[in-house]
Structure 1
């Protein structure tokens, strides 16, 4: 059957590929080659971060593609210990230099921190947007309480919140809040570190639709309103398979069944993480 969900998400008039490439651990010559392969296969949303240590590789791969800058949606992130305003501005300078770009498409707060007032960080991000060094700003790993503070108290104009999201982790409360704000939820670890391939329901649905459990999972994510995904892979065959999800559509009953798998299981755990939503 022909899928109705387009390969592009439109959020407040801005467009972004529904599926992007997560580049965590894609470093050095091998990492650059993997990113270049992804671009050759059709990836146009590229997600990086200062913490990943591969902005140089991302920039080189983009330039080596020969494609126009406007073909790409490039995201980078600033780590939680660099969120004071002066440091934010320095880090953006450094990121743009490493990427070889005049502007990124999206600048994210990588993780929230209690060490710098949120309003100061958001003001610095807004200034970077005003200066044209990023088109859009957003956050990552923000639960509802922090998102409420950013949106309601500080009136931040946020495009995106990037969080862990997969069939085993409900983000129902966060999604509801983000939809009210007209924001994109971009899902990292969307296939739950490969655990979806062991799930009986997802495997059965894969057989039904002629797809893998991973493809069913990615389809479930991008078929939701306001949700995108950034699976990370270094293998061409997996990159190609991840993109092959736009020629089918899950039924409402199958979407609901996958939602029913949620158990609150997270595959990321850090000492600095905020208090997550129940």
Structure 2
């Protein structure tokens, strides 16, 4: 459907709203799109796209190690650390690795050069293909406190890609979400037609407003009943890019890990229509920026 040099972030206030459903199907109708699974703590885009992996990269974080022979116990490093990752216990510096943010500051301020750093593996990044879709996916190792370093490295790798990039963001509004949408050109806010859906929509709406990102909404699982999320969009002048109906067949395909647009022409037409509307919005934003 044509090539666009745009980075589209798809986000929602909670999991289960259809964020990945929308991301993988928009990627499939966008010809040669790049799909990026930014939910590095629980990625699931590969369940649908079933890629052939061709690349793998280990992600490591820098952690401090203290040379006891050089350390004089001056506590300069401890005073510097704002995350309380260092403490002076039993006349030696102890490192609490789980709360270290890998800033490297302790090694810089140490007057005796007693602190060096080592690479601690915390996750991996995979890349591959699903038909015409280039795929990137990150995964954080079990027990690692934060997925932000893996997410950051994933986005660094994707930065070299040209054309349409669709970022399937983590749910919520955490640091990982902010990292995922930082370089995006446009954000899609996904919501369900319920009171809780409207509440979570408001949460991500406030986030993209604070970050100054252009955005629109896609409402999922819509029926003929009351729709608080649609009302929230109307009250806050949020453009509704598309409404996906509550559909048992679509739900079945999604539950079975299928890309709907590859299985049924009806869904292909629906997501193509949403994609055309999305590109119109993105192009308008691009034109207004220039």
Establish whether TM, by shorter chain, passes 0.5: no
The higher radius of gyration belongs to: 2
Structure with higher helix content: 1
- Superposition TM-score tier, normalisation by shorter sequence: 0.3 to 0.5
TM-score with structure 2 setting the length: 0.37
Structure with higher strand content: 2
TM-score with structure 1 setting the length: 0.38
Higher RCO (CA 8 Å, separation ≥ 6 residues): 2
